[in-house]
Structure 1
Amino acid sequence: MDAVDVIVTKRDGRELSTGQIDWVVDAYTRGVVADEQMSALAMAILLNGMNRGEIADWTQAMIRSGSRMDWSGLPGRTTDKHSTGGVGDKITLPLAPLVAACGGYVPQLSGRGLGHTGGTLDKLESIPGWRASLSGAEMLGVLGETGAVICAAGEGLAPADRKLYALRDVTGTVESIPLIASSIMSKKIAEGTGALVLDVKVGSGAFMKTVERARELATTMVELGTDAGVRTVALLTAMDRPLGRTVGNALEVAESVEVLAGGGPSDVVELTLRLANEMLQAAGIDGDPERALRDGSAMDVWRRMITAQGGDPDAPLPVAAETLEVTAPASGVLTSLDAYGVGLAAWRLGAGRARKEDPVSFGAGVVLHAALGETVRRGQPLMTLHADDASRFERALAALDGAYVIDGDDAGALPLVIDRITA
């Protein structure tokens, strides 16, 4: 095989063969194909697309570049959820222990935040002592003991994707749906779960800004999972406004614990329960998530899960040194609360990172005191900004300029769950 021949095939809009895909992914992982050659191929894929067979072959080639996890020794069925990311999306935190409390086993491999979207591992690392990095044996141990584990993916899981993802990030090819879908699904299939629910976010705070693009991505991923023998379903969910009332690492952990205690914002509770039911149904498990929240069993799993990974569920969470209140400039109905603007503000306050090696401030973020559609009074607190350094407030306020509107034209918010995609 020759890298140039593979590039030219896709450049000219022709279908890549299984052999070409297997060779180029393996050769790139081993360093035989240079970054500039894979960059050219990624751009050709972005411009000319891939059909279902090509995407399936590409995904399988990335899976074969590393190891696969095996949970067959567990006494029950595995089921997992993946979110494409958004602002205030802390759903994994209450969801994993909730599904475990209903009889499922949840092996959740999660990531860190970048830019305005938060990362599950960053949130959990705000809990004193909690460890994200576990060996395969440790992961299996926590899963067997508690029913749920949330941790970082090991180096051996789909290494081709890790290398290609970094390349796409600097070559303007991140937006390719075949490459997005294969990136997500190669890791999830290699993770070894028997059932998978995809939460594909839509709106200003999401990667997919339109329902049409989100539906295309969701359909592609559901097809990939189904073709690989994983029972897969996708929900398209709203990310035109933040999810819940908090954006920021420790702030979102506290809100997640509220949900597990039977409280929390209605949208977080609703989506957590909907995803839990989808996960249990996909795995063929008969469970009652609402009862597991009411009777405290989900909270019990949370405490065991955090403790098993070295965390102290009773320890105080980090608190930012400085706060600033943002008040309503007029009385009326909050008709717009832009997820991207709020997420950007939280990032500038220190809750996120510009580069993957940057540290985050665990206490930084935004607490929302009013939700979309609520009536507010002039001078009433709309949100509180949290930061370790007061000099960050100015740029955060600039990000919020125009991000909220009172008594403006009601463009109509997206429903929390927009669509359900199955094979």
Structure 2
Amino acid sequence: MTAFAAVDVIRAKRDGGALSDEQIRWVVDAYTRGDVAEEQMAALAMAVFLRGMDARETATWTGAMIDSGSRLSLRVDRPTVDKHSTGGVGDKITLPLAPLVATCGAAVPQLSGRGLGHTGGTLDKLESIPGWRAALSVDEITAQLNSVGAVVCAATSGLAPADRKLYALRDVTGTVESVPLIASSIMSKKIAEGSAGLVLDVKAGSGAFMKSVSEASELARTLVEIGTAHGVTTTALLTDMNTPLGAAVGNAVEVAEAVEVLQGGGPADVVELTVALAREMLALAGLSVDPARVLASGEAYETWCRMITAQGGDCSAPLPRPAHVAVVEAAGSGYLSALDAYAVGVAAWRLGAGRARKEDPVQHAAGIRCLAKPGEQVTEGQPLLELHTDTPEAVPAALEALATAVEITDKAPEARELILHRVS
């Protein structure tokens, strides 16, 4: 591989130029090996943040991060398809979706992460199930995909190590909010997983990383372009994240809600998004099965139990319950016109459901139950939110976060579409 001077690569991007494929591959490889210093990569990340990257640069950057590690080689008899969400509040969709799509005949290798800040992590939620373990070997992942059809676990250490280094650096250098860097981070890990198809759930709204629909649309288009460039059939749904998904936000409370959905019930918005994403995944897998019928039948719950049991979990064990519960009541009567997702997410985080640093523990019983959703009529004094925590001293900070979360008006709000549009 041709060697370059790191400062020349930094200057090229700083001055608005497009980096060559050779420059990109060299700088990502050299940074992973430690030959490019942290301060140099920080400067390059800021240059990318300010100047951007075109589609070719972004695809090459993604490929270089994939090549920094290994790819999963999944020897599976079924068609493989994966899903990724850009993160939201109450977003437990992976939990019912993976077993549903597996029940319909596909294999779902869902390598997931932990929560940081106001957005929850799938692994944190599943670890509230007694005995369940996140760490699996490649052989265990392959065996479970063949026997059950779905696995949700932590990413193996060999996948895209360049991304792990760069993600940590971006977090402390103010360069997180860059579409090329976000997109390459997501797609390097997903492509390295080895699925033939990928469906993306790109969130837009107060509780999402991308606040506006235009920003989320740009990210969705970039993600789809990268997947296509790397031979992975990719589609995206743009979905609303101004209001929490479902009625549960946290860890054990979200698992309980996911189980309701798998047993044929659950909140309408969680069911709607689960079915919509399942349809996209099954289309990519070439399977003509109606996921709405399968979900309503409760069949997918049996797959869920097998999936949890295969990873050491006990489906029949009671989930953790909080030591303390507080209630937020309606300050007046009328229509609940807004319930801000970001505020609810921050409150759940402060109650112990999330973490400020990646090494922090979480409380499995912590979270929030939304007892009313926008569009519903409420009366003064009616319970609106139920706060769960093992640390009662955390409640005042959670209430502070919720101070402007609830809006009650005389007129019913206009109904919001959950699924905004599709990108392919």
Q: TM-score, normalised by structure 1?
A: 0.98
In 2, Cα distance between equivalents of 1:342 and 1:295:
32
2:161 matched to 1:155?
A: no
In 1, Cα distance between equivalents of 2:69 and 2:124:
25
2:62 matched to 1:67?
A: no
In 1, Cα distance between equivalents of 2:88 and 2:412:
22
In 2, Cα distance between equivalents of 1:41 and 1:361:
37
In 1, Cα distance between equivalents of 2:261 and 2:32:
42
Q: Which position in structure 1 is the counterpart of 2:249?
A: 247
In 2, Cα distance between equivalents of 1:326 and 1:272:
29
Residue deviations 1:39-95 (CA, integer Å, cap 9, x gap): 000000010010110001000000000000122x31110011000000000000000
2:221 matched to 1:219?
A: yes
Contact 2:334 2:410 in 1 (8 A): no
Distance 1:156 1:402, change over 3 A: same
2:346 to 344, 351, 356: 344
1:47 to 41, 47, 50: 50
Q: Identical aligned pairs, as a percentage?
A: 66
Tell me the SS of whatever aligns to 1:276: helix
Q: Which position in structure 2 is the counterpart of 1:2?
A: 5
Tell me the SS of whatever aligns to 1:353: coil
In 2, Cα distance between equivalents of 1:358 and 1:335:
35
Q: Which amino acid aligns with 2:295?
A: L
Contact 1:350 1:360 in 2 (8 A): yes
The Cα shift of 1:321 comes to 0.3
User: Gaps spanning 5+ residues in structure 2: where?
Assistant: none
The Cα shift of 1:295 comes to 2.7
In 1, Cα distance between equivalents of 2:7 and 2:147:
50
Distance 1:332 1:233, change over 3 A: same
Distance 1:157 1:408, change over 3 A: farther
Tell me the SS of whatever aligns to 2:159: coil
Contact 2:374 2:413 in 1 (8 A): no
The Cα shift of 1:294 comes to 2.8
Q: Which amino acid aligns with 1:403?
A: A
Q: Which position in structure 1 is the counterpart of 2:304?
A: 302
Q: Which amino acid aligns with 2:248?
A: T
Contact 1:110 1:150 in 2 (8 A): yes
| Segments of 4+ moved more than 3 angstroms | 408-414
Q: Which amino acid aligns with 1:162?
A: R
Tell me the SS of whatever aligns to 1:81: strand
Distance 1:214 1:408, change over 3 A: farther
- Root-mean-square deviation over aligned CA pairs: 1.0
In 2, Cα distance between equivalents of 1:33 and 1:294:
53
Residue deviations 1:355-411 (CA, integer Å, cap 9, x gap): 000000000110011011100111111011011011111111000001001116877
Contact 2:335 2:411 in 1 (8 A): no
Contact 1:240 1:414 in 2 (8 A): no
Tell me the SS of whatever aligns to 1:108: strand
User: Gaps spanning 5+ residues in structure 1: where?
Assistant: none
After superposition, residues 135-214 of structure 1 pair within 5 angstroms as 135-214=137-216
Contact 2:375 2:412 in 1 (8 A): no
The Cα shift of 1:283 comes to 1.6
In 2, Cα distance between equivalents of 1:402 and 1:61:
44
Tell me the SS of whatever aligns to 1:222: helix
Residue deviations 1:95-125 (CA, integer Å, cap 9, x gap): 0000000001000000000000000000000
The Cα shift of 1:291 comes to 2.1
Distance 1:357 1:100, change over 3 A: same
In 1, Cα distance between equivalents of 2:188 and 2:398:
36
The Cα shift of 1:414 comes to 4.0
Distance 1:386 1:398, change over 3 A: same
Tell me the SS of whatever aligns to 1:198: strand
In 2, Cα distance between equivalents of 1:159 and 1:411:
46
Q: Which position in structure 2 is the counterpart of 1:13?
A: 16
Q: Which position in structure 2 is the counterpart of 1:38?
A: 41
Q: Which position in structure 2 is the counterpart of 1:265?
A: 267
In 1, Cα distance between equivalents of 2:414 and 2:393:
36
After superposition, residues 349-368 of structure 1 pair within 5 angstroms as 349-368=351-370
Q: TM-score, normalised by structure 2?
A: 0.98
Q: Which amino acid aligns with 1:132?
A: A
After superposition, residues 362-381 of structure 1 pair within 5 angstroms as 362-381=364-383
Contact 2:263 2:297 in 1 (8 A): no
Q: Which amino acid aligns with 1:4?
A: V
The Cα shift of 1:296 comes to 2.5
